[in-house]
């Protein structure tokens, strides 16, 4: 049976996926046992004691076993620490109430559609109505999330008409391709209001009920711009770096201040994704840069909700190394930023 390729085609992740079996300790143990059995069989037939090639294969099996144990232990520790060593929170589609910002189009619309089709009630907060007709368990509230007063009003309406939300997905985002000195103050403030200050407004409204029940999930849709800043993308990158700090701080407060570790937190860092926000870039992608499909990002978000655990998701996985750029040598950091900014320049031209 052929492996199903990602929506983006034959990616590096798809090519590397079969190699994951090498980091399964049981696989390495199996190879070691086969190698040992073959060695004993050869020794019995030949009457000799050792064969150098047998020892070599067993040595590599032992190395592979050690690497697999380290890899799996690292994954286990990350999952457990991010979830305060508590058991999984069971997802119940009929009992969860999801609020998602920017759910009328792009990634948010796909997340909404999948959750609603699985029987979950979803509330969309957006300035624009949904592009497609919604199903019966999707409710739209026209809201300017950049306004704290508007968020407070709509939150009261939601609690009165639907109850307390158990999931908040801070998905809405905006940006532009302006130089720092060319960007009007009002535009800078608009980007910060939507991309990061709205997170504070919304969490202030919906977090207390989650804390009281010690149940909930807050998803922050950030970007790879949380780690790498490009020219003509500075205000957007600033807000996404702030979103990462917001996510990290919120997780700490839930564990150590509110004592509500089962209110999960997830942050998502997708690379360039085909959404209306960047349509002017992806539509004429002259540089042929890798682009994610919105369904890929939405599937990652929904699957994480269903897992009952919080996480940090970097999409695609190959960019995980870039997330550590702040610790790279300065010359290497600048080389990466130069390459990305030059690529963006070619798209804008």
Tens of pLDDT, residue by residue over 92-123, are: 999 999 999 999 999 999 999 999 999 999 99
Catalytic center residues: 236, 240
**Torsions phi, psi of 156, nearest 5?**
-65, -40
Question: pLDDT, tens digit, for every residue of 258-302?
Answer: 999 999 999 999 999 988 777 666 666 554 678 899 999 999 999
Please check the confidence at residue 246 and state whether its pLDDT lies above 80. yes
The span from the CA of 198 to the CA of 182, in Å, is: 24
- What is the model's pLDDT at position 146? 96
- What is the model's pLDDT at position 204? 98
* Residue 302 CA, distance from chain mean position: 10
- What is the model's pLDDT at position 349? 53
Please check the confidence at residue 10 and state whether its pLDDT lies above 80. no
Most confidently modeled of 1-5, 25-29, 166-170? Answer: 166-170
Using the 8-state DSSP alphabet, how is residue 194 labeled? I
Question: pLDDT, tens digit, for every residue of 84-99?
Answer: 899 888 899 999 999 9
Angle between helices 25-46 and 52-82 (to 10 degrees): 170
Please check the confidence at residue 192 and state whether its pLDDT lies above 50. yes
Cα dihedral sign, 77-82-83-85:
positive
Helix (H, G, I), strand (E, B) or coil at 195: helix
At residue 132 the predicted structure's pLDDT band, cuts being 50, 70 and 90, is confident
Which helix (H) or strand (E) covers residue 303, if one does?
helix 294-307
Q: Is the CB of residue 204 less than 8 Å from the CB of residue 256?
A: no
At residue 305 the predicted structure's pLDDT band, cuts being 50, 70 and 90, is very high
- What is the model's pLDDT at position 105? 94
Which long-range contacts (C-beta less than 8 Å, at least 24 apart) are formed by 132-141?
138/112, 140/104
Which residues, at least 6 apart from 96, have a Cβ–Cβ distance to it below 8 Å? Answer: 120, 121, 166, 167
At residue 32 the predicted structure's pLDDT band, cuts being 50, 70 and 90, is low
Q: Which residues pair with 313 in a beta bridge?
A: 268
Which string of b and e fits 131-141 if b means at least 16 CB within 10 Å? Answer: eeebeebbebb
- What is the model's pLDDT at position 11? 79
Percentage of residues of the chain with pLDDT beyond 70:
86
> 186: how many CB neighbours lie within 10 A of its CB?
7
The span from the CA of 223 to the CA of 203, in Å, is: 20
- What is the model's pLDDT at position 282? 60
Q: Is the CB of residue 286 less than 8 Å from the CB of residue 346?
A: yes
């Amino acid at each position: 049976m052929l492996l199903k390729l990602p929506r983006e085609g034959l990616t590096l992740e798809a090519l590397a996926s079969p190699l994951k079996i090498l980091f399964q300790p049981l696989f390495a143990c199996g190879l070691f046992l086969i190698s040992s059995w073959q060695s004993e069989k050869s020794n019995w037939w030949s009457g000799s004691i050792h064969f150098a090639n047998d020892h070599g294969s067993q040595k590599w099996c032992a190395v592979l076993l050690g690497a697999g144990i380290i890899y799996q232990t690292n994954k286990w520790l990350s999952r457990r620490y991010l979830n305060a060593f508590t058991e999984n929170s069971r997802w119940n589609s009929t009992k969860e109430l999801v609020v998602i910002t920017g759910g009328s189009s792009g990634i948010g619309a796909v997340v909404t559609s999948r959750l609603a089709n699985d029987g979950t009630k979803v509330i969309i907060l957006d300035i624009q109505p949904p592009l497609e007709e919604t199903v019966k368990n999707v409710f739209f509230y026209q809201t300017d999330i950049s306004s704290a007063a508007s968020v407070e009003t709509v939150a009261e309406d939601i609690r009165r008409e639907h109850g307390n939300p158990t999931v908040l997905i801070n998905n809405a985002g905006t940006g532009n391709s302006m130089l720092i000195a060319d960007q009007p103050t009002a535009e800078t403030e608009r980007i910060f209001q939507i991309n990061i200050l709205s997170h504070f407004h919304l969490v202030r409204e919906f977090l207390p009920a989650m804390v009281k029940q010690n149940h909930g999930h807050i998803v922050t849709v950030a970007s790879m711009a949380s780690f790498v800043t490009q020219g003509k993308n500075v205000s957007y990158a600033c807000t996404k770096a702030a979103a990462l700090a917001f996510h990290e701080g919120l997780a700490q407060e839930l564990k150590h201040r509110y004592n509500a570790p089962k209110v999960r937190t997830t942050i998502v860092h997708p690379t360039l994704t085909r959404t209306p926000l960047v349509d002017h870039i992806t539509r004429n992608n002259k540089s042929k840069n890798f682009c994610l499909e919105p369904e890929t990002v939405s599937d990652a978000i929904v699957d994480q909700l269903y897992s009952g655990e919080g996480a940090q998701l970097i999409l695609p996985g190959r960019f995980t190394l870039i997330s550590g750029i702040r610790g790279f040598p300065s010359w290497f950091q600048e080389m990466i930023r130069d390459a990305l900014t030059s690529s963006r320049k070619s798209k804008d031209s």
